[in-house]
Structure formats: C-alpha cells, structure tokens
Structure 1
Amino acid sequence: MMPIAIVAPQPKTILIVDDIPANLGVMASYLEQLGFDVVTAQDGEEALQRAQLVQPDVILLDIMLPGMDGIETCRRMKAIASIQAIPVIFMTALTETSKKVEGFAAGGADYVTKPFQIDEVFARITTQLQLRTMHQQLALQNLALQNDIRERAHLDEQMRIAALVYQNSAEGMLVMDGANRTLSINAAFTSITGYALDDIAGTDSPLFRSHCHDPAFYAALWSALRMDGHWHGEVWNLRKNGEKYVQWMVINRLNNEDGSLYGHVTLFSDITEKKSAEALILRQANFDELTGLPNRRLFGERLAQEIALHHGAGLSLALLFIDLDRFKEINDTLGHAVGDRVLVEAGRRIRAGTRASDIVARLGGDEFIVVLTRIGSLDRVEQSARALLESLAEPFVLDDSVSRVSASIGISLHANAAPEGGQLLNHADQAMYVAKRLGGNRFSYFTPLLQQAAIDRRSLINDLRAAIDGKQFVLYFQAIVELASGRICKVEALLRWQHPQRGLLGPDEFIAVAEETGLITEIGDWVFREAVRWAKRWTALVCEPFQISINVSPVQFKSEGDAQEQAWLAYLEEMHFPATSVVLEITEGLLLDDNKKVKGKLRQYKQAGVQMAIDDFGTGYSSLSYLKKFDTDFLKIDRSFIRNLSTDPNDRVLSEAIIMMAHQLGIKVIAEGVETQEQRNFLLAAGCDYAQGYLFSKPLPPQAFEQLLLENALGPAKAALPTLPCASRMG
C-alpha cells in the first residue's frame, strides 16, 4: 500500500463569497479566530477575480447571489485551469435536493446549510483541506515514485502524518484505488463500522458489499461516479458485528494530474439515531401507541385514498364504526392497566378478523374503525360485522381475571355517489349509537332517517346550551299528600324547559340528551338550588316540617370527584335549611351499581341527613335487600301499578305486598299517579303513607303551588297572603 503525504500545517486562505455584508463579517470573524486567512467577495464576478488572484485553499460560496448565482460562478471557476482544483463549499438556506444536486453537478465539493453551526463549517472546511492535501500528495507521490524509489521511506512518514490529521475527523473516511481496493481508513471509520485496516486492506470495501441493497442500487452508484465524478445519498450497511445501520455517504473521484483515475475517497457519517428519531416521530404521528394500529390522522389519509381509488374504479367500500360495550366498567373496576390490555387484545382480534387490504384503526378510547374495501355485496359486510361481534364477545382472559365486553357496530356504505370520508365516518358513528341504544352486541346501518335524527339531536344540544345561558329552565311542583291526614307535607320539584319556539317542554324531551352530553350536571345543580330556595320559603309559610323531593340523574352520581356533593351540602348550610328536609329521588338501578364512587356519594348524603327515595319502584330490579342496605327512606310505587288497582287483582296484590314489606324494613311508601278516589281509598286501607297524582294536584308553577299549599294548611279563607316575586327561572 502506497503512503499518503501531506505538507506541514500552515495558515490556509478561505475565500468567502456572500452578498450580505453582515454574513461576511460574522463568518470572516469566526474563521480568523480559528487561524484562517480570510478573503471576501460580494458577487460572482468579484469572486472569479479574487480566486485567480489569491489562489485560496477553500471557497465558501453562497448560492443566492445577485446577477450570476453561486452555481454558475462555481461552473465558471471549474473552467479556469488555475483555480479549478480549489474545493467549493456551497452555503445555502435552500433544502431542495434538486438544488443540491445541481450544485454538485457544477463542481461543488460539499455544502453547509444556513443558519450555520460554526463547528460544522470548520469540520467541512477541514475535511476539504485534508482531501485536497491528500489529492495533491497522492499525485505528487505518483510522480515521485516514477523519479526516485528512494523517496518511499520519506513518503511513508508523510502518510503517517496525514493519518494523524484525518484520524480526528468525526466522519468515516475511506480511500480506494482505481480498482476500488481499500488503501486507507481513519479512526472514525473503525469506530463506526468495527473494521480495522488490517481487516480490509487491499480488498473491496465492506461499505459496498453488505448486500443491504439490491445489485441495481450499487450499479447506479458506480455509474454516477463514472459519469459525474461524485455521488451522495443514504446507504444501509452492516457493521462488523452484523448490526445494521444507515450512513449518509459522499463519494468523490480522485484524478491523477493527467486526469486519469487514481481512485475514490468516501466520507460518511452514522445517521442511524437520526433516522430512528425520525421514524419514532413518524410512528407517533401516525400510529396509536397502545395498539400499534393507525391513528385517526393516518386513518383519514388512507380512507381518502381508498375513496378516490374506489370511486375511480366504480367500486364500493363499507366503514364499520366499532365501540366496545361496558368498557368503562372494566376501567372503573379493574383499573386502566387491565383496560389497556383489553384494548390491545380487541385491536388484535379486529385486525385478525379482516383482510390485509382492509383498513383497521383506533380512533381513541374504546373506538375502532374498519374499512372493508372492494365489497361485492352486503353479505360480505354482514358476515364481517357478525364475525367481529362474535370475536369481541369472547372472554378476555387476563392473568387471574376474565373480562367480558361486547361491541356496537355502525355501518355506512360508500358507492359512487356516496359522501366523502368525514361524512362517511359521521354516518357510521350515528348508526353505532343506534346499535348501542338497542342494547349493544349488534350492528346497525346508517339511513337518511338517522341523519335527520342526528341533525335534530345536534340542534337540541345547541338549544340546551342556549337554555342554560338564557335561563330558560323553570320548576313546576307537584304535591305529595299524607294519606291519613290529607295534609301536603312534601312536594316534588319537576323540571320544565320554556323553549322560545316549541313552548313548555317536559323532561322526557331533553333529559336523555342532557345526560349524554354532560349538561345534566349544570342543569341538575340549578334544580337543586332553586328547589331548596322555594322549599325554605314554603316551610316558613306553613310553619311545619316540609320536605322537597328532587330527582337526581345517575350521571351526576357517576361523575368524578365529590365537588357536587360538597357544594350542595354547603348550600344547605348557607340557606340554613335542614338536610333532613331534602329527599333525593334516585333510580333502582343506581343502588345495584357496583361503582364504589356511587356508593360513597350515597353514604355521604345519608351521613349529612339527606333522605333517599327510590323512584318508579317495581319497574326495575325491585331488590328490597338493596333498599335496606343503603338505608332508603322512601319507596315510590310506580304509576303502572296504581293505574289498574281497580281492575287488576295482581296489581292490588303486588301493591299491598310492596307496602307491607317496605314497612317491615322501616321504609315509608309513596304512591305515584293517583287519579281517582277509589285508588286513594285502596292505598289508605293498605297502609300506604303518601300519594301524589292528579287527584290532589297536577304539577304547578311555584306561585300556584304556593296558593295550594296555603289553602291546604290554613284553609281558603286564610290563604290570601302576599307571596314573593317569582324567581324560579334559571339564574
């Protein structure tokens, strides 16, 4: 192997070409501090003159120059024999690959990107100085060998000196002869690849025979070198230990003085970490971290592509919106870690139940999407939907626990005239909610009627928000009468909505949507405070104990934290209204809820003295043991039993049994929907404590109920008392 010599270090001259004086000043100052002699020029013509006059060692050339740009300037420099060998490093803020390739084609040796990192600029200048020195010395060496073999020892020493210079480069360097046999490597080469010089000296470099690329790739690389004299790009390679990594590689041709090929010099850096970071960013931007499935963003892109493809080919596709049933119960009872494992397994089952050409994605939470491509008939869609339902209904065996969920699937179809991706997804979402409302574990197709229902629902939600802001809610009150005395001792607060266009609306028309959207929390808070305010007034008027019954949604009990409970109990203290005068009406199902938060909130109210009533008893689970367990105060027999007391013996028997068993548990009974004297007499004889219904009073506005209460307590003659101004609207 022939040695490489390098001249002794001496100050090097750098020509900087930039049309912005501030850039020139900053760069010149940095380079002078690093020990370089600096010459400057502000345009291409001046640069050509200065280069020929000064003969710099390296030229830093801005691409964007007035008049003749940097690339043309470089091209002209390479046409002038006296300066054509001077390496040109382009300076640019441009990132387009085409512009960089054009610069290399013009004869540029390297480039640096603005804004500059001076360490990078210094490294690239040093590298080019080394390369130029090596190139010059290789040519001199060949000439010297032809003249006198006695120079061999001296040139060997010079080679060692050169090695000391470029061993400190952070970039791997490889010098090959004309047959591409390894002549020299630096320390960075060994550090990056694991190969020492003894491993590869005189052989084809392992950089070009790792087989990480196909033969066509390497053929194109060598062809570019033969044609252009240089090549650059990303190359995958193998380290000596077999580990795969990726390089950014620049290869330049080395010519003898007569222009014939001497060999090639290769510079490369390990960009594996950079590529891994880029891949991680790409993965995080496009894939769900938990399941590894495409996320909402990538799904949107792929759906748009599939729609365009299917539309052009006249094909159809189906979108399945999948939502797991009862998944929240798993999170609440077993914890989020178990919930995450269920989601991972659910994603795996969904992916396994689809074709490779189908799209599977996770939108978030327990929502998944499947796009069935190239469907020929609805049979294919329904078979897939049923298979997914069956798969997801199988038990999820996780360590020592077994969890069961099912799924609700909404299906929307895309044909030639069908909606675009976003609308298609909304349609499937609407259909999924229909499946869920029907009990889950089923699929439902989108129909135009669903679309209208969705529009109406959205309008209702907007109107509800406006109702809260516009104080459109009002309370009506229905008397609860003590059967034995006929005295009104309780009242139930009933919510109404004074809609500006539709008039007075009952709760059946909006409560379900308020619960689904979470608006029930704010509405329920207003109901509680307004009801307590009126109850306090009426207690003072009749000068007797008086209870207010307030309906509370299960959603309010299942909300996070205890802020509502604390606020309500604090409000009772603020109003100096006894907690024992408040009755919260809840559903049977709430007592059966295993949620610890629900149980804790119920106990918190009871400990404060608030009483509990079970509404519509007999229509649900009707578990008397739960009534006792939670220290229930009142049980309200549903109107469906009361309605047929005079005609249905079974309803009479059931009503008597409920009253008797409740009394044995120390629970008082309220009958709802009492409309006839015959019903009242039967209930009184059966021992029922209280009743409410149209026999006594329909739901009334607060002023009307107040008059009824006064007449009941004092008699009509004494009831003509002044009342406070109405303040029953939400505010």
Structure 2
Amino acid sequence: MSGTPEGPGHTAVAQPCTTIRAITEGDCGAAGDSGVRRYAARTEPPPRSGPVPAGELRDVHAAFNAAQLAMAVVDPDGLVLNANDALAALLGTDAASLRDQVAADLVDLAGDPRTWHAYREVLRGHRSRFRCTRRLKHPDGRSLWAEVTVAPVPRGHNVLLSIADISDRRELQARLRHLQMHDPVTRLPNRTLFFERLTSALENSSYDAYESYGSHGDGGTGRIGLCYLDLDGFKAVNDTLGHRVGDRLLAAVATRLTECADNDGHARGGGHLVARLGGDEFAILVEDSSGTDQLAGLAGAVLAAVQRPFDLAGQRLSVSASIGVVERLAAGTTVNGLMQAADTTLYWAKADGKARWTLFDPERNAHRMTRQALSSTLRPAVERGEFALEYQPLVGMADGTVRGVEALVRWHHPRFGALAPNRFVGIAEEDGSIVQLGRWVLRTACRQARRWQLEHPRERPLFVSVNVAVRQVWDSDLVTDVAGILAETGLPAHLLQLELTESAVMGSAGRPLQALQALSDMGVRIAIDDFGTGYSNLAYLSRLPVSVLKLDGSFVRGFQDEAHPNPADEVIVETMVDLAHRLGLTVTAECVETAGQAARLRRIGCDTGQGWLYSRAVAPERIADMIRVGAKVA
C-alpha cells in the first residue's frame, strides 16, 4: 500500500475528517471558512506535500462514527454520502442504509419554503451556514426537538448536516416561560401573557371574520369581549388581616373566575382566558364574542360568584367586585383602545357605586373625552383670551328698573364653540384653574362696571354680581385679590356683589368665614346663590355677613301654573322672603320667565328678579343701551 486513497469510498471518508475537526474546534459555521483557516494557522502543522496516511483516515472515520453528535456528510445534490452511528440511532436504522438518501427528507427540511430555500443556498455554496429547529419522531414513539445545522465542509464541495437533541433545553425553556408568564399567587396567566394573547386574538378575530364573510362558513365572529374587574375593598383585607390572607383571597377569587369562564355556554375552542393583571385586578378575555348579551351574562355570573362569602383559614370574608365590560368588532380595534375603554368603564362602575358591572357607552365616553380635552386646555385658554363675559340684568320688582347685572362667563372654544359655565366651571374647580379664571372674571366684570359708571354719570350706577367658587376662598387670598382689583379698576366696593352657593356658605368657619367677614367690612355685598336647595341652616344664617338671598329657580318655576296656583309654593316663598327681610336681607328671585310669576313675586315682596322675562345674558353693549333708555325693562 502506497498510502494514497483510491476510489470514491475512500474520498467519502476523507470529507468528514475535516468537518469533525471544524466543529470540535468551535467554528460552528459562524465564522465561515476564514475562521477555520485562522484556527488551522494557529494549531495545525504545515500542509502536507503528499497524500494523507491511510491510518490517519481510519482514525478520523472512527472518531466520526463514535461521535455522540448525529452527523451526515451531504453532497451538493442533497444526498447522504456518509452518516455516523449517532444519526442512525436517532433515526432508528443503520448507518449504511442512510447512504444515498435525500438528507432533507430525514429531518423535514422541505417542510416550509423559507427553510428549504436556506438549505439549498448552503448546498450551492451561496450561504455559509444554516440552522433551524425541527420536531422529529424518535423510533421509540416519543417526539423530540432537534437543532439542525448545515454548514459547508472546509476545502470541499460537500456539507455537514448535524443534529443535536435539544428536547431537555426546550422543556426547560417551556418551564421558564410558564413561570415568566404566570402569576405565582393565583397560577393564572399574568399581564404579559394576557397582552400577548389579546394581541393575537385581535389579529386572528379580524382574519376569521373576513374568512367567514368570504366563505359563508362557520368561522369566527370577528368580535372581541373583555371583562375587566377589581375587588372592592381589597386593600382593607390586606391592611387588617395581612398579605397572606389577601393572597389566599386572590387565589380563591381566581378559582371562581375560572369556573365562571369555563361554565360560559358561549365559550369557543379552549374557553376564555382568565388573567391576573396585577394587584386585585383581573381580566376575562372573550374571543369570538357572540355579542353584548354574552358579556353581560358572564359579568353577572362573575359578580354573583365574587359576592359569595369566602372561608379562608378560619376567616369568613365578603367582598364585591366592580366590572367594566367592553364588547366590539375586532376589526379596527387596537390593544390600547380596548384597554382604555375597559379601564374607563371600570372607573364608571366604581363611580356609580361599586359592586356592579357597567357596559362601555360610546356617548358617555365621548363626553368624558370632551371633558378631558376641556380640562387640558382650560388654563392656557385664559391666557389666549378665549373667555368672554355676558351680563344678565337684575331688575327691581317694584318699578322694573335695572339695579345691577350678574356676570356670566362664556368660553369661546376653538373646537367646541361657545360653552356655557356648566360645561367647564366644575372642571375648573376640580383642577384648581378656577382660581386663575375667577381672578380674570372678577377683574373684567369690575372694569366693565366702572366703565358704565363713567360713561353714564347721571344714571344710578349698576352693581355687578360675580360668582365665587369655594376653592377660590381656600386656594387663594380672595380678600387681597378683591381689594387689589377694586383699587386697580376704581370700582366702589358697594357696587360689587359676590355670590356663593348655599352649601358653600352654610357651616362656614375658620378661613372662609373670616374672608367673608373681611369682604363685608370692606363694603362688598355677599349673596347666597340658589338659596333653599342646600343645608337651609336658618339659625346659622343670622351670624353670616350676608346681604342678599337669591331664591333658587325651582321655587319660581312652581308659580308657572297661573290658572291653578299651588298655595303651598306661595306660602314657602313668602315665608323665606319675610324671614330674609326680618334679618335685614334683600331677596332676588331667579328664573322669572312670565309676567304672572313676576306679579306673584312682587305681591309676596321680592326685591329684585332676573330671568328671561326681563332679558337673557347679553353683551356689555346691550346693557349700555338699557342704561341710556332709563334702565327700565319692565
């Protein structure tokens, strides 16, 4: 023997020799042929000038067969040239029978177009490496996960196909994912898995609805539903009984929610997804919802299930839940949009009294969105000059002359148009911008009243009445503000009247009472607005620095039926007017709309009135016209 291998059989053995060396040296195809060459330059002896000794070839072949990694050498046509014993054992055959078989068929590389294309690119030498994961059938019947790697053999035209059993790794990954995606307290899917499933459900529901429409088959409904709930009073359980009991309660609630979801007769496929989103918040995702009736029934069942008492470690606990329910078409729905609607609806359920479920209402949500838009733009609107004042006359009941005006603020919103005070004053009180807005109204009204006084010096000057919110008394130095504005505008203090609601004034003590007293001492008149609808603490009334009572419009509206008047209404109003007069107060009747009402109020003894009978709120120029014609409107 000369040591020179002859024939195709010897050549086939020589190829895996080089390949095994490349893999065990750590190349794994990531660095390509250049990585192998760099390694060879560091560790291999100089290239031989002659053929490889037959003994060395036999050693390499033996190592190839003894390797625990399943391997096969594949020619450019995709046929197996040589396979080792590990591959044969993996496939339940012998190594010799694998020769000349189509390698792709052994590990299902033609199962999808993308994998097949990548594999063919490696065979053609156009790609240096390819790796994929396949699920294979073991001869003993069990399935296993295999990582298939295909890489070119250095200095050759063949490729090495290697298969590593990664079943244990996959199982570990699955366990870790389960731990990562599930809540440790309730064992329910957690927030991460919920949003992953919701995203998939929206995509699949839209697609199923389209397919069902196109084929008229039994596809999905294309709708999505969500019950979003949290427990009422759960914090009290944690605070009083401890977190251990709280966790047991959460686990018990999770069990009942799962039972409700499993018992829903409309559930499709694998049922509904019940998840804990965090704290005491849970969600039930209904894929392919059949409509709002299904969600309403499910929410009712959940509410009843949660309200049943829980027996936990000797503790009998009773809780309730508030549930926000959303049901809609999946098409056009986003994850954020659905969750925002659910969160809003849950807030409604709590605001409406808790222990209930509430269905999402687009109109109510539109109102909320409008309210949010107004809140976010209210402060800068004052600086942009979007507010204006109109004035409604306050008329003497005896002679019909205009005695004063009430300033009413209007917001000329660039998007929503002209807005009355009831659309934004409440918002301003909540976010504190009422202080800034109130100063502007007060300054503008006083400046206008002073202008009328200067422009019509021969006429009796009109007083101006301005509404003041309770928060203006608490969050600002109202006395200083009023004094500064009166000095700035030159308006005498007796021509300014400040109106506060009855509920705000009655029971005032401390700082509010001191402020009212200081304003009264300054000469400013204090009026109680909407009198008769609040606390009606008449005994306290005599101790307040009040000048005027404004009767709520509900009393005046009781006078509308002039043909059949209610004597009781007249007796109540007459009593309040008489009481006010005995206390040295004047009385203004609001919402006077007919001459008959005015006549009865005049007979009872009301001092002034305001309402549409006399005039609506008008621009300052119209008030100036009234002053010029003698300030008489009735």
The TM-score, its normalising length taken from structure 2, stands at 0.51
8 Å CA contact retained: 1:431, 1:450: no
1:446 Cα offset (Å): 0.7
Residue 495 of structure 1 aligns to a residue in which SS?
strand
8 Å CA contact retained: 2:299, 2:323: no
Residue 630 of structure 2 aligns to a residue in which SS?
helix
8 Å CA contact retained: 2:225, 2:325: no
Match of 1:307 among 169, 190, 198: 198
- 1:358 lines up with 2:272 in the alignment: no
Q: In structure 2, what is the Cα distance between the partners aligned to 1:624 and 1:343?
A: 46
Q: In structure 2, what is the Cα distance between the partners aligned to 1:671 and 1:579?
A: 23
Q: Closer, same or farther in 2 for the Cα pair 1:544/1:450, shift >3 Å?
A: closer
8 Å CA contact retained: 2:506, 2:536: no
Q: In structure 1, what is the Cα distance between the partners aligned to 2:357 and 2:546?
A: 40
Corresponding position of 2:602: 684
Corresponding position of 1:184: none
- 1:370 lines up with 2:370 in the alignment: no
8 Å CA contact retained: 1:672, 1:693: yes
Q: In structure 2, what is the Cα distance between the partners aligned to 1:74 and 1:555?
A: 84
1:11-44 CA distances to partner (integer Å, 9 max, x unpaired)?
A: xxxxxxxxxxxxxxxxxxxxxxxxxxxxxxxxxx
Q: Closer, same or farther in 2 for the Cα pair 1:638/1:344, shift >3 Å?
A: farther
Q: In structure 2, what is the Cα distance between the partners aligned to 1:624 and 1:607?
A: 22
CA RMSD of aligned residues (A): 5.2
Q: Closer, same or farther in 2 for the Cα pair 1:674/1:413, shift >3 Å?
A: closer
Corresponding position of 1:492: 406
- 1:637 lines up with 2:536 in the alignment: no
8 Å CA contact retained: 2:303, 2:321: no
8 Å CA contact retained: 2:191, 2:277: no
- 1:669 lines up with 2:587 in the alignment: yes
**In structure 2, what residue type is equivalent to 1:706?**
A
- 1:423 lines up with 2:344 in the alignment: no
Superposed counterparts of 1:265-304, under 5 Å: 301=192, 303-304=194-195
Corresponding position of 2:465: 549
Q: In structure 2, what is the Cα distance between the partners aligned to 1:623 and 1:605?
A: 17
Q: Closer, same or farther in 2 for the Cα pair 1:593/1:622, shift >3 Å?
A: closer
1:499 Cα offset (Å): 4.7
Corresponding position of 1:252: none
1:705 Cα offset (Å): 0.5
Corresponding position of 2:131: none
Q: In structure 1, what is the Cα distance between the partners aligned to 2:481 and 2:190?
A: 44
1:656 Cα offset (Å): 1.0
Q: In structure 2, what is the Cα distance between the partners aligned to 1:581 and 1:324?
A: 52
Q: In structure 1, what is the Cα distance between the partners aligned to 2:308 and 2:490?
A: 57
1:546 Cα offset (Å): 4.4
**In structure 2, what residue type is equivalent to 1:689?**
D
Superposed counterparts of 1:153-552, under 5 Å: 301=192, 303-308=194-199, 318-320=226-228, 351=250, 354-355=253-254, 358-361=275-278, 369-372=281-284, 377-378=294-295, 379-385=297-303, 410-413=324-327, 419-432=333-346, 434-435=348-349, 442-457=356-371, 467-484=381-398, 486-499=400-413, 504-515=418-429, 518-540=432-454, 541-542=456-457, 546-552=462-468
Q: Closer, same or farther in 2 for the Cα pair 1:534/1:415, shift >3 Å?
A: closer
1:470 Cα offset (Å): 3.8
Match of 1:607 among 518, 521, 526: 518
Q: Closer, same or farther in 2 for the Cα pair 1:307/1:709, shift >3 Å?
A: same
Q: In structure 1, what is the Cα distance between the partners aligned to 2:583 and 2:303?
A: 49
Q: In structure 1, what is the Cα distance between the partners aligned to 2:197 and 2:541?
A: 56
Q: Closer, same or farther in 2 for the Cα pair 1:666/1:424, shift >3 Å?
A: farther
Corresponding position of 1:699: 617
**In structure 2, what residue type is equivalent to 1:532?**
C
- 1:711 lines up with 2:607 in the alignment: no
Q: In structure 2, what is the Cα distance between the partners aligned to 1:421 and 1:343?
A: 36
Residue 577 of structure 2 aligns to a residue in which SS?
helix
1:538-593 CA distances to partner (integer Å, 9 max, x unpaired)?
A: 344457564321123455456xx435664444333433445454322222333468
1:457 Cα offset (Å): 4.5
The more displaced of 343-352 and 699-708 is: 343-352
**In structure 2, what residue type is equivalent to 1:355?**
A
1:496-550 CA distances to partner (integer Å, 9 max, x unpaired)?
A: 2345576544334444455555554433332121112112333444575643211
Q: Closer, same or farther in 2 for the Cα pair 1:562/1:452, shift >3 Å?
A: closer
8 Å CA contact retained: 1:480, 1:490: yes
**In structure 1, what residue type is equivalent to 2:463?**
Q
Task: Choose between structure 1 and 2 for higher RCO, CA contacts under 8 A separated by at least 6 residues.
Answer: 2
8 Å CA contact retained: 1:565, 1:601: no
Q: Closer, same or farther in 2 for the Cα pair 1:319/1:459, shift >3 Å?
A: same
Residue 680 of structure 1 aligns to a residue in which SS?
helix
1:607-642 CA distances to partner (integer Å, 9 max, x unpaired)?
A: 232443222223444443454454433221122321
Q: Closer, same or farther in 2 for the Cα pair 1:388/1:485, shift >3 Å?
A: farther
8 Å CA contact retained: 2:190, 2:275: no
Residue 636 of structure 1 aligns to a residue in which SS?
strand
Q: In structure 2, what is the Cα distance between the partners aligned to 1:386 and 1:568?
A: 56
8 Å CA contact retained: 1:319, 1:425: no
1:480 Cα offset (Å): 1.2
Q: In structure 2, what is the Cα distance between the partners aligned to 1:343 and 1:522?
A: 46
1:61-91 CA distances to partner (integer Å, 9 max, x unpaired)?
A: xxxxxx999xx88996999xxxxxxxxxxxx
Q: In structure 1, what is the Cα distance between the partners aligned to 2:425 and 2:482?
A: 21
Corresponding position of 1:129: none
**In structure 2, what residue type is equivalent to 1:675?**
E
The TM-score, its normalising length taken from structure 1, stands at 0.45
Q: In structure 1, what is the Cα distance between the partners aligned to 2:565 and 2:355?
A: 37
- 1:648 lines up with 2:565 in the alignment: yes
**In structure 2, what residue type is equivalent to 1:354?**
V
8 Å CA contact retained: 1:430, 1:454: no
Q: Closer, same or farther in 2 for the Cα pair 1:624/1:702, shift >3 Å?
A: same
1:344 Cα offset (Å): 9.7
Corresponding position of 1:659: 577
Q: How many residues align?
A: 404
Gaps of 5+ in 2: 1-32, 46-182, 206-219, 256-273, 310-318
Residue 526 of structure 1 aligns to a residue in which SS?
helix
8 Å CA contact retained: 1:323, 1:432: no
1:219-240 CA distances to partner (integer Å, 9 max, x unpaired)?
A: xxxxxxxxxxxxxxxxxxxxxx
Q: In structure 1, what is the Cα distance between the partners aligned to 2:623 and 2:242?
A: 57
1:670 Cα offset (Å): 0.8
Q: Closer, same or farther in 2 for the Cα pair 1:699/1:437, shift >3 Å?
A: farther
Residue 476 of structure 1 aligns to a residue in which SS?
strand
**In structure 1, what residue type is equivalent to 2:198?**
I
8 Å CA contact retained: 2:198, 2:285: no
Q: Closer, same or farther in 2 for the Cα pair 1:301/1:639, shift >3 Å?
A: same
**In structure 1, what residue type is equivalent to 2:226?**
A
Q: Closer, same or farther in 2 for the Cα pair 1:382/1:316, shift >3 Å?
A: farther
Residue 384 of structure 1 aligns to a residue in which SS?
helix
